[in-house]
Amino acid sequence: MNASSRYFVITAALACMFATSASAIAPDAHTGAALNSAAPAPPVPASSPAQDAGAEPQSSTDNHDHVFMWKHDHHGDGQNKANIGHDSYLAKDQHADALVSIFGSSTSDGDVSDAVVSIFGNTRVTGPVGDAAVAVFGNTYVDSKIGDAAVAVFGNVELGPNADIGGDVVSIGGTVTQDPAAVVHGNIQNVFGGMTGDFSHLQTWFRHCLLLGRPLALVPGLGWAWTIALVFLALYVLLGLVLHEAVDKCVHTLQTRPGQSILASLLLLLAIPILFVLLCITVIGVIAVPFVAIALFLAKLFGRAVILAWIGGSLLRVLFLISH
């Protein structure tokens, strides 16, 4: 293994250590389960008067979810209930104007005047809703009376036997499943049906990685993210093996002329949009756009390989000085 490849491996090992040490590693078991299904969430204890006074950031230690979340939680009439990075639940004897979850699922057994919405989560409604039940990048399940529409964008819509939909049922990129006893007063629209996938793993990445400011974590459901990271690491190592002389020369240039190298990178970054605009203006230049895009992508991979080799070499020198 040449010097460039060793630098990549050292950089990757240290990066993995820092990427997974931002917070606790193992989540509570019910966190993953809530992301993978639209099943009702467990009842949430009533909030304290201090919490009802307004919105405030809360630590996840209250419910054992290892995330930082924003929570706006009111149970009285004429109030909203919204969560970012956390599931929302409305009990059977409670009322809210709206129930909203971003990077989480919304479950309503109570009475909602307006809408129940989930973004990157599942929506499950078993209580009356005045307006609509909506899920974006998630599934929608309805088994109650809905004043307007039941919608799933890149998700499936399922209607239970007690479903009474006042408007339309819309599924974009998914499927619509209707119980024979369900009533739909509007139309059933299935746009690009069957194209949706399972977004629960993406929800897991948002909750355990993005909201914690780290790219990776050692939690269930993130195998795809680790696979992508390892594939790119193998690609960088391969570049270091095949183009080791070019990588070493670029690393030497970056070490001896860091200011000029950074300035050239910034100028290239600013010139790329102008280049594409100029190519699109001309008729002949449009044909070259995909080839230029591929060339820039390959150049980007090579540039990242050089940066990783430079970081790995710098860390290796520091470790050598510390050990001696």
Parallel, antiparallel or unpaired: strands 68-73 and 80-84: antiparallel
More confident of the two residues 229 and 15: 229
**DSSP annotation string for 194-262:** T-----HHHHHHHHHTGGGT-S--SSTT-HHHHHHHHHHHHHHHHHHHHTHHHHHHHHHHHHH-HHHHH
Mean pLDDT for the chain?
75
Say which residues have a Cβ less than 8 Å from residue 123's Cβ, sequence separation at least 6.
38, 105, 106, 107, 116, 117, 133, 134, 135, 138, 139, 140, 141, 152
pLDDT digits (tens, 9 = 90+) for 225-268: 888 888 888 888 888 788 888 888 888 888 888 888 888 888 88
**CA 267 – CA 2 distance, rounded (Å):** 32
pLDDT digits (tens, 9 = 90+) for 24-51: 343 443 333 333 444 444 444 444 433 4
Are residues 115 and 96 in contact, defined by beta-carbon separation less than 8 angstroms?
Answer: no
More confident of the two residues 285 and 146: 146
Residue 320 confidence (pLDDT) = 72
Domain ranges of the chain: 3-22+220-323, 29-200
Task: Please state, in angstroms and as integers, the Cα–Cα distance from residue 266 to each residue in 259, 260, 310, following that order.
Answer: 11, 10, 18
Residue 25 confidence (pLDDT) = 40
- Percent of the chain past pLDDT 90, that is, above it, reads 16
Residue 121 confidence (pLDDT) = 86
pLDDT interval class at 123 (50, 70, 90)? very high
pLDDT exceeds 70 at position 12: no
Task: Please state, in angstroms and as integers, the Cα–Cα distance from residue 258 to each residue in 243, 263, 310, following that order.
Answer: 21, 9, 11
